Amino acid sequence: MYIHHHPYTSLLSHLTTHLPNSGPLLRRVQYQSTHNSPTAHILATLPPESESGPPDPGSPWLAAYADIHRGPDTQIWLFSSLEANTTLTGKEREITKSQLLTLFTKIRVDLIPPYLETFSASGRPVAVPGEEEQEKEQEQGIKKIPAHPKTSFLLGTVHARLVDLICELSSETLSTSTSSPKLNPTVRILRGQNVFYAKYCFPSSSFSIPVHELEKAAEAGYKFHDPSTGISGIQSHHLDLVKSRTHIPRSKEALLAMGGVALYYYPSTTSSTSLSTSRKMERVNMPIAWAFLGFDGSLTSLHVEVEHRGKGLGGLVGREVMQRGVDVFGPKPESESASASGDGSTREREEWFYADVAVDNGASRRVMEKMGGVGLWDVAWMVIEVDV
């Protein structure tokens, strides 16, 4: 397992050739290149100087972004070159499971100990974003997914094919550990292997918002800035509202780092509205819809307040945040920015963004499809613990 250092040129090139499947990890590495986290590591089975792929062209390779210090938010993003394969040979399965075990062991041995050192002798966190927020929310009766143990790590948006291989790996290593204790690392899955989300992929062509849609929304009182203050986007005083509308635990620090798009409602005095005067007063300087673009280029926390639903605002906000995201994840390496077209000229490479929707959430899936997204594979969020 090799460590890659900025500018990650060869790895970005390899990931680009596997779009759209490699997109979430590609976006995460791009974000790291322009918003450096000193505790992050870019790891791959390919050496940093590799320009042509693995020594054996037919052999799968694995890459990952790891930032354990980001807990309890997502800490690991993975991509394997076999994700797009329709079938896997037995050899490919075994190679990839070995690569996964090597990665997980390295994380446990080299990356988790420095993370644990940030905790006091009493076991209280010194500076772990979001954990105290989660504890307060639990005390207030706000249902959230509980934080995972600090010796474990959260894998985000794991392709269903890798989920299967990780489950196999866990069964095999646990079985080996029983017969030969302390000779091999053991992988335990703490949660997430049975909860799947549909991965929706959005090409560049789906981002654009027709001018007439923006004009229609503005006439109805919906704007991407607060007319009373002139500010736009999500502000720090909005975050309690944002966090109260989702069961997914995300720290305020992470949400602010993501930025986000906010939609405000300021109807004219002649506009018809079902909102009472008191309800409108509660909404002063507060958004009625919002969305974030996660560090991996995924649409995150898309929400429209109940009284404003059914007007297409979710799609409007979602496309707006993706459109703005093209500038967030740059600059692109020169080799990525354009590709040859059939007539010998060059054209801009297709940009991709994503969204993860619970497979049984029909309403949200319909919103994604209306926005131009296509569900291409399923993913899961998994908490893994390794004993070495």
What is this structure's pTM? 0.84
pLDDT, tens digit, 9 for 90 and up, residues 270-296: 444 455 544 444 455 799 999 999 999
Angle at which helix 23-34 crosses helix 9-16, to 10 degrees, equals 150
> Mean pLDDT over all residues of the chain?
84
Phi-psi region of 67 (alpha: psi -120 to 50; beta: other; left: phi over 0): beta
pLDDT at position 272, please? 46
pLDDT at 131 over 90: no
Least confident of 122-131, 204-213, 279-288, 364-373: 122-131
pLDDT, tens digit, 9 for 90 and up, residues 132-150: 555 555 555 556 677 889 9
pLDDT, tens digit, 9 for 90 and up, residues 192-236: 999 999 999 999 889 888 899 999 999 999 999 988 888 888 999
pLDDT, tens digit, 9 for 90 and up, residues 69-90: 998 889 999 999 999 888 899 9
CATH code, residues 200-376: 3.40.630.30
pLDDT at position 147, please? 82
pLDDT at 347 over 60: no
Query: In the structure, what pLDDT confidence band is assigned to residue 354 with cuts at 50, 70 and 90?
Result: very high
Q: What is the mean pLDDT of residues 305-317?
A: 93
DSSP state of 382: E
How far is Cα 259 from Cα 257, in angstroms, rounded to an integer? 5
C-alpha 207, offset from chain centre: 18
pLDDT at 123 over 80: no
Is the Cα dihedral 200, 203, 204, 206 positive or negative?
Answer: negative
Query: In the structure, what pLDDT confidence band is assigned to residue 61 with cuts at 50, 70 and 90?
Result: very high
DSSP state of 17: T
pLDDT at position 21, please? 96
Q: Please indicate whether residue 280 or residue 61 has the higher confidence score (pLDDT).
A: 61
pLDDT at position 298, please? 94
State residue 317 phi and psi, 5-degree precision: -70, -40
Least confident of 47-56, 138-147, 353-362: 138-147
How far is Cα 266 from Cα 220, in angstroms, rounded to an integer? 8
How far is Cα 118 from Cα 14, in angstroms, rounded to an integer? 35
pLDDT at 386 over 80: yes
pLDDT at position 124, please? 56
pLDDT at position 136, please? 56
Domain ranges of the chain: 2-199+381-387, 200-376
How far is Cα 94 from Cα 181, in angstroms, rounded to an integer? 22
Q: Which two tokens stand for residue 290?
A: 């919002």
